[in-house]
Amino acid sequence: MAERRPLKVLFLCTQNSCRSQMAEGWARHLKAGVLEPYSAGTAPTAVHPLAIKVMAEAGVDISGQRAKHIDELRDIEFDLVVTLCDSARESCPVPPRAKRVIHRSFPDPAKTEGSEEEVLAAFRHVRDLIRDFIAELE
């Protein structure tokens, strides 16, 4: 019986700074050998320091990841593309080499206003929502 190759999955959001980076990190951590994760954005900036911090709290190091524009990955044929925000779903043309696309919107923790603790709580909440989503992804 032939071994199944990992599914190539692209996690896509607008800035590729929080949600898609966390999803890529969780997929590497929880689904090693099952998923081959990538992340990108339609208007990438940089990986948000609080995304790095809250993922590290959960034992996942995303500090080596970088924000990328979707065009950098145009030559890869993905088994699955997951849009993680409404803006990415609306503004991103479906990559022509995607076999399947699903949408799962998560709140943007970077837009949270309030005290440092309130903002951190928002990042932790989204981190945990994404973890649960990735845990069920096949």
Positions marked active-site: 13, 85, 92
Cα 101 from Cα 60, distance rounded (Å): 26
**What is the H or E stretch that residue 83 is in?**
strand 80-83
Let me know: does 50 contact 119? Beta carbons within 8 Å: yes
Say which amino acid occupies 136.
E
Maximum distance among all alpha carbons in the chain? 55
Q: What is each CA distance from 137 to 42, 80, 123, in whole angstroms?
A: 23, 10, 21
6 secondary structure, DSSP code: P
